[in-house]
Amino acid sequence: MFNAILENLPYLLRGFLTNVQLAVFALGGGLFLGALVGLGRISERPWVYHPVTVYVNFLRNIPLILVIFWFYFVMPILVGRTLDPFVSAAVSFIVFEATYFGEIFRAGFQSISKDLVGAAYSTGLNYRQTAAYILVPIAFRRMLPSLITQSIITFQDTSLAYVIGLQEMVRRTTIVDSMEVRSIQLYSFVALLFFIICFVGSRISRHYEEKSRKAKVL
Amino acid sequence: MIEIKNVNKWFGDFQVLVDINEVVQRGQKVVICGPSGSGKSTLLRCINGLEPYHKGEIIVDGVSLSDPKTNLYKLREKIGMVFQRFELYPHMTVMRNIALAPMKVRKKSRKEAEKKAMELLERVGIPDKAGAYPANLSGGQQQRVAIARALAMEPACMMFDEPTSALDPEMIQEVLEVMIGLAKEGMTMLVVTHEMGFAREVADEIIFMDAGRIVERGRGEEFFKSPKSQRTKDFLAQILK
Amino acid sequence: MLAYNFDWGVLWRQPYGEWLLQGLWLTIQLGCLAWVIALSLGILFGTLRSVQFLPLKIIGTVYIEIFRNVPFLVQLFFWFYAGPMLFGQTLQFKINSISGLNYWVAVVALGLYTASRVGEHVRAGFASIGHGQYDAVLSTGMTPLQMYWHVIIPHALRLVIPPLTTEFLTIFKNSSVAMTIGVAETTFMSYKIDEQTFHGLEATTGAMAIYLVLGMTVVKLMDFIETRFRIPGLVRR
């Protein structure tokens, strides 16, 4: 009964690996850019705050699929040749998810008392140093549960790269399904894989949430 | 060393500092007291540029804060500040709290910075806590680490914003002792506090602020025995009960 | 840079402009219909998830966890491709020949998925109501069922309205995924315009503008509802 899955397992799993790779890029770039976005959102300089705010509010109103398409159309024009869907997808994800990570970081930054920042400044640290050694590390630790939750969402979102033909798991499942027509098994399988990763991830997030609630260390 | 000339500051419509004038010489210890909301903390924060002021001028060691070319970061190296709620970096050990600025701002090597940090920890009496995290320390210990952290940059002047107000009574003394030690070594100090015992022992000048103004200033015992203004008398009566 | 002739006229030239607007209409339909399902099921399962009675709690938890942890695209494909097969050989063909099947599958799938998210918010709402409330109500002699219906659920709902407005916004965004099974909503239309004219950049930019306007309208609408139902003195942002 599960022959369709077993015979195509390597093919499907390599597709799943693509999802994972895409997620790794999306998370790495998204977290980094997100920290910058968060800093921009609490900035007192209007020429930083306003563009970043527009960027965040703009992207949060638009479906990710559309962003993926948009970059798919835009990137060849900018770069001068057609691109690997993976690269186009990775850029879309980084730009998109950074807005969500940015808002999480922003909440984290705002939870840090002004006096703590003042203490850092009064030892002579400049803005860049204070942001790098104090603001970002503390916000990151405080917001870890939310960051993990958002990372899980990002991982789920990698399935949407389907629409530009990326050979990730969902696309490969539809390809196998068109040959074997064992839809129930195949789609249950891909659902199960995602479920396991996301469920485990949300448990980890819950664990950190409990830990920080009890410890109140940070 | 610090000159404050006609400084005024507003938060929106509310005037929080009114015509403040003061000169602090090197080696002087100035205590500022007054009811909450009188602008004492704000004044301290204006001196090291954490808060801007609107009228007047503050000059630190010859450098004016009103000058747009002034590098505030360099200026803050000269003035150390200790806060009411200690404000230690919770994600770093005590050692790293103290050594961070010397390493990143003065570009000292880790060895050098940590050696100095240990000396400072000895000086404030808790060398054994070097590897601990702030959350594992008592309030008094945290505040002493905060003092060590400020001293690590070898400032010419130290400012204290109600350093003992957030401490349990048993721990106030250990912090005051460190501060008295600093005073005896000749450090220039600006202290906002309600601890009048400390003021009596250490202060060259005591300033009473109310509603953003300096209401009265006096030297030592004279201030406590014969305050001139009624407001000062009322305040002292409350505090010294 | 690749040479590219921008042709923004695509957006209002017939029939393309009309396509986008038709797509918008479908986006609105999808979102609203699915929202009805999402709200009702979400409140149901969110409440089940929060009660003390274990069997109900398990049902609520299982539903929410399954539908939350699988990407919506996968869920959609499951219902669309594998769904009909669940009904056996004969019914399967009948189902697949229903016209507009993809539309209805999209509505139901979107509703089921969003219900799990609504359920999570409802659960969080219940969790933030202190134990005291429960004790106070029970001590007046109400049965648990009465307590939930008359006191706890209305209280939790009002706490939960801000995150729900975000979910309502999200449902319109997620409706775009339905394009993958051929539902002619906004994103689908912009892609279709690209197929015909090769001016996908302009088309997708136009679609972005449509979603922006839709989003701002929804936010205004939700703000209005929020202010009408806000609990005075409770700052819940």
Q: What is the pLDDT confidence band of residue C236, given thresholds at 50, 70 and 90?
A: very low
Strand, helix or coil at B167?
coil
Q: What is the mean pLDDT of residues B60-73?
A: 86
pLDDT tens figures, A81-93: 777 889 999 999 9
* Min Cα separation A134/chain B (Å): 7
Could you give the CA distance from residue B147 to residue B174 in angstroms, rounded to a whole number? 12
Could you give the CA distance from residue B200 to residue B190 in angstroms, rounded to a whole number? 14
Helices (H), chain B: 40-47, 72-78, 94-104, 110-124, 139-151, 169-184, 196-202, 220-225, 230-239
Sequence letter at residue B94: V
- Strand arrangement, sheet containing B29-33: B79-82, B157-161, B188-192, B29-33, B205-210, B213-218
Distance of CA B153 to the CA centre of its chain: 14
pLDDT tens figures, B122-166: 999 999 999 999 999 999 999 999 999 999 999 999 999 999 999
* pLDDT computed for residue B241 by the predictor: 62
Q: Are C161 and C226 in contact (CB under 8 A)?
A: yes
> Between A157, A163, A187, which is nearest C81 by CB?
A187
Question: Which of the residue ranges A137-141, B211-215, B217-221, C232-236 would you say has the lowest mean pLDDT?
Answer: C232-236
Q: What is the mean pLDDT of residues B20-34?
A: 91
Q: What is the mean pLDDT of residues B40-65?
A: 90
> Between A113, A123, A141, which is nearest B153 by CB?
A123
Is C2–A173 a contact, with Cβ atoms under 8 angstroms apart?
no
Please count the residues of chain B: 241
Chain A contact set for C194 (CB, 8 A): 73
Is B76–A123 a contact, with Cβ atoms under 8 angstroms apart?
yes
Chain A contact set for C75 (CB, 8 A): 191
- Would you say the ipTM is above 0.90? no
H or E element that contains C213: helix C200-229
pLDDT tens figures, A29-61: 999 999 999 999 999 889 999 999 999 999 999
Q: What is the pLDDT confidence band of residue C66, given thresholds at 50, 70 and 90?
A: very high
H or E element that contains B206: strand B205-210
pLDDT tens figures, B183-203: 999 999 999 998 888 888 898
**Averaged confidence pLDDT in chain C:** 85
Chains B and C touch (3+ CB pairs under 8 A): no
Q: What is the pLDDT confidence band of residue C235, given thresholds at 50, 70 and 90?
A: very low
* pLDDT computed for residue B237 by the predictor: 79
Phi, psi of B230, rounded to the nearest 5 degrees = -65, -40
Neighbouring chains of A at 3+ CB pairs under 8 Å are B, C
Could you give the CA distance from residue B6 to residue B187 in angstroms, rounded to a whole number? 26
Q: Does pLDDT of C2 surpass 60?
A: no
How many helices (H) and strands (E) in chain B?
Answer: 9, 10
Query: How are the residues of chain B apportioned to helix, strand and coil, as percentages rounded to the nearest 5?
Result: 40, 25, 35
Percent of chain A with pLDDT strictly greater than 90: 66
Interface of C with A in 41-100 (CB under 8 A): 65-66, 68-75, 77-78, 81-82, 85-86
> Between C78, C81, C176, which is nearest A66 by CB?
C176
**Chain A to chain B Cβ contacts (< 8 Å):** 74
All residues at 6 or more sequence positions from A73 whose CB lies less than 8 Å from its CB, including other chains: C194, C200, C201, C204
Percent of chain B with pLDDT strictly greater than 70: 100
Q: Are A38 and A108 in contact (CB under 8 A)?
A: yes
Residue C15: asked if its preceding bond is cis (omega within 30°), the reply is yes
Domains of chain C are: 15-228 (1.10.3720.10)
Beta-bridged to residue B14, according to DSSP, are B11
Cα dihedral A85, A70, A198, C55 sign: negative
Dihedral angle, C-alpha A75, A78, A83, A89, nearest 10 °:
-20
Q: Are B147 and B82 in contact (CB under 8 A)?
A: yes
Q: What is the pLDDT confidence band of residue C231, given thresholds at 50, 70 and 90?
A: low
* pLDDT computed for residue B113 by the predictor: 93
pLDDT tens figures, C3-58: 667 777 767 777 777 888 899 999 999 999 999 999 999 989 988 998 888 999 99
Q: Does pLDDT of C230 surpass 70?
A: no
- The full DSSP string for C61-110 is HHHHHHHHHS-HHHHHHIIIIIGGGGGHHHHHHHHHTSTTHHHHHHHHHH
Strand, helix or coil at B23?
strand
Distance of CA B60 to the CA centre of its chain: 15
Task: Give the CATH number of domain A3-217; options: 3.30.420.10, 3.90.700.10, 1.10.3720.10, 1.10.150.130.
Answer: 1.10.3720.10
**A133 has a chain B CB within 8 A of its CB:** yes
